[in-house]
Amino acid sequence: MSDDLDLLVSRADLDGLIRMIDAACDAAEWDLLLRIRGAATAAVQTGRQLWPAATLAEYRTALLAPAPWAARVIVDGAGAFALGPLTEVVAQHHTWADLAPHLVPGPARAFVAHERVLRGEIIDADAVDPVLDLPLGLEQWEPAYALAVYKPNDARFDPPVLPGTPGEFDLPAPPEIIGDPDTDEAVRTLLEPWTAASNGRVEVVTVEGDHLGAIAALGPRRARVSTLTTAEAVSWLGWAGASGGAHGRRRGGATGRFGAWWTIAALAGMTDAWPLEPDELGELAQALQWYWWDAFEPGLGWQLQLAVCDPEEGLGWAIRAQDLA
């Protein structure tokens, strides 16, 4: 088998390497899979464009191999062209207890831990470096986040379920838009892959008034609006922050969760006090009123259309982000 691998690499036979990867996975020959990855990676340095084979081999290793092998591909820089970050891929089928003894210290290890938290685990904070200012367990006010589903040859990044039975509203005259640079920056950072690496467009406005006034400030005269629970709104923020939009690089659920928390802090005017206590952030999120809206247009591609109202402060926000597939 080693001779066959050397021959395929010397010929830059990408199709043959893909068939060998498939066979190694079917036979659970994980050492061979890692050898293919290493050989294909080294071949790139000699001008042989075998990076698709290297990418597929390390992706399949993270997804399918037992923890001692899967952990070996969780290193900085790995998976640059995979369907998603390998820290998220490896967390789909492997528990923290299985992975932890084999993961080297560093940011990648910490991100795996945070991905396992999204899947319901509670992890000792001393077990990882403090890469994200997030608790290593889900809070009661958080949702069951919308998670990626990785398969050997593809992946799904389904959004949360849209709320049903929206109300239809004639919107008020558009109020004056006021400055809220913290919220504007938080939302644009949350959705950066949609605009920087894809064809998306992001608009966010802040007004004195309520959510209907904020939606009107984006231009619509009529809108359909559905009330969201706090958990539903956080789920949408987390999904958007995890995604890469139609063509951008997916960042993973852990990054999406952090983006959701940071956006809530920005809406509450509390970014200067970061990191916030989880209970405090939950109270701030629950004090806001959350809505999904559209202006009767069909839902196409990737979209995030939230409206928010802070009745105590008399402020409203509207977000319209779209990225066509």
| Residue 289, SS3 per DSSP | strand
At residue 165, does pLDDT exceed 90? no
How far is residue 218's CA from residue 123's CA, in Å, rounded to a whole number? 42
- Please provide residue 75's backbone torsions phi and psi, each rounded to the nearest 5 degrees: -135, 155
Record the pTM.
Answer: 0.95
Residue with tokens 């997916």: 250
At residue 20, does pLDDT exceed 70? yes
- pLDDT above 90 coverage of the chain, percent: 92
Burial class of residue 20, CB neighbours in 10 A (0-12, 13-18, 19+): buried
Reading the block at residue 226, the tokens are 């559905």
**For residue 128, what pLDDT is reported?**
94
**For residue 63, what pLDDT is reported?**
98
Q: 117 with 138: CB under 8 angstroms? A: yes
User: Diameter of the chain by CA atoms?
Assistant: 74
At residue 1, does pLDDT exceed 70? no
**For residue 164, what pLDDT is reported?**
84
Q: Tell me the pLDDT tens digit for each residue of 33-86.
A: 999 999 999 998 888 899 999 999 999 999 999 999 999 999 988 888 899 999
Identify the bridge partners of residue 300 per DSSP, sorted by sequence position: none
At residue 161, does pLDDT exceed 80? yes
**For residue 46, what pLDDT is reported?**
87
Q: Tell me the pLDDT tens digit for each residue of 75-119.
A: 988 888 899 999 999 999 999 999 999 999 999 999 999 999 999
Mean pLDDT, range 26-38, rounded to an integer: 96
At residue 252, does pLDDT exceed 90? yes
How far is residue 214's CA from residue 218's CA, in Å, rounded to a whole number? 7
Q: 234 with 264: CB under 8 angstroms? A: yes
Q: Whole-number mean pLDDT of the chain?
A: 95
Q: Tell me the pLDDT tens digit for each residue of 174-231.
A: 999 999 999 999 999 999 999 999 999 999 999 999 999 999 999 999 999 999 999 9
Could you tell me the sign of the dihedral formed by the alpha carbons of 98, 102, 104, 108, in that order? negative
**For residue 2, what pLDDT is reported?**
61
Q: 30 with 63: CB under 8 angstroms? A: no
Mean pLDDT, range 249-268, rounded to an integer: 97
Q: Tell me the pLDDT tens digit for each residue of 127-145.
A: 999 999 999 999 999 999 9
Length of the chain as a residue count: 325
At residue 298, does pLDDT exceed 90? no
How far is residue 148's CA from residue 156's CA, in Å, rounded to a whole number? 6
